[in-house]
Amino acid sequence: MSFEEYSKKFDEIYKQRIEPFIKPLETIRAQKYGEYKRTLYPALILPGLLILFFPAPIDTMLQKLIIMFFVGVTVHSIVYTRYFGKFAPDIKKKLLPAILKSFGDFYIANEPIISSSEIKSYQIFPAAKRTNVDDIITGFYKEMAVSIQETRLTHTEGSGKTSHTVVDFAGLIIKVKFPKNFSGLTVVSPDKSGSRWGSELQKVNLEDPEFEKIYDVYSTDQIEARYLLTTAFMERLRTLSDNLNLNGNTLAIGRAGRTYCVFDQGYVLLFVGANHDFFEVFKANKCMLDKEIYRYPFLEMIMIFNLIKTLKIDQKIGL
């Protein structure tokens, strides 16, 4: 199905499944947003004035501004949670499935598609200690099992006042049944990614020097790795970033755009880094009748299918 056909289908989905549902909810959102603003502004101003003018052992104006910033962030989080903490997730649970249905048998799942221990075994994010999972979507594309998971991997550096969170990966993990049979583990990682490899994974030297400038390949089976990474597949993987866009807006920016590829027990997993919050269908300050809010998750699914098509994972050919 072409992009134009998908767009037409989205318009039909919006009219039939989304608009009738959101019309009464928009009144509730507008009311909640008004109450939210009336609560937030005084809640921000009062502590700000106290910090700014109340005599306290704070040496500089910069320190006061830093304190005001963190107090403001905390207050905003508390007030937002009060008015939208339950409302926003409930909206997403009801609206996102309506969008996913336009692509066939896709639904929101509860269980992660990959465990933290499995990610750790791939050794591509060795420093990561915490795994935060947001949306989990699973279904079938061209009779092929596809699972999608929005994931954030982090660890903490420093201690005390210098303690801070470092993001090792943020983006999508896309898991697809691979059309070739294999049983080992092969990891394709961007060069200089900070990965460290154990004794089970050995470096694989390939015949494409341009590919090896970008990626390191490690595997439990050298022969199987070369069987999976054909010259054509390596070329498609190198050009994968050209498909990381939504309606002309590139999702992958700088380091966030690193793409890792893992072949594991009959599946291929793409770790697509992106500076983007996926599958969002609600914004507190936006009218719920704005159709463009729901178009983005629709386009995001098209982008994912484009990645699969680019790598030709959906075709039972020599790859």
Distance of CA 18 to the CA centre of its chain: 24
Choice between 3 and 203, residue whose per-residue pLDDT is larger: 203
CA dist., res. 168 & res. 194, Å (int)? 10
Looking at every residue in the chain, the average pLDDT score rounds to 82
CA distance 46 to 291: 37
Output the CA torsion 288→40→67→58 (10° steps).
160
Let me know how long the chain is: 319
pLDDT at 252: 44
For residue 277, give both structure tokens.
Answer: 């919050």
C-beta of residue 75 within 8 angstroms of C-beta of residue 43: yes
- Partners of 147 in the beta sheet? 138, 175
Task: State which of 1-15, 122-136, 292-306 shows the largest mean pLDDT.
Answer: 122-136
**pLDDT of res. 270:** 93
**Which backbone phi and psi does 90 adopt, to 5 degrees?**
-65, -40
> Tens digit of pLDDT for each residue in 119-140?
988 888 888 999 999 899 999 9
> pLDDT tens across 24-55, in order?
999 999 999 999 999 988 887 877 666 666 66
Higher-scoring residue by pLDDT: 76, 32: 32
Tokens encoding 108 = 């929101």
Residue 295 pLDDT: 85
Residue-wise pLDDT tens digits, 142-168: 888 899 999 999 999 888 778 888 998
Residue 198 binned pLDDT confidence (cut-offs 50, 70, 90): low
Please give the single-letter amino acid code of residue 89: P
Left if phi > 0, otherwise alpha if psi is -120 to 50, otherwise beta: which for 308?
Answer: alpha
Evaluated on CA atoms 199, 204, 210, 215, the torsion sign reads negative
Residue 253 has a pLDDT of 38
**Positive or negative torsion for Cα 194, 197, 201, 205:** positive
Supply the pTM of this predicted model: 0.83
pLDDT above 50 for 255: no
d(CA 7, CA 151): 27
Is the pLDDT at 254 greater than 60, yes or no?
no
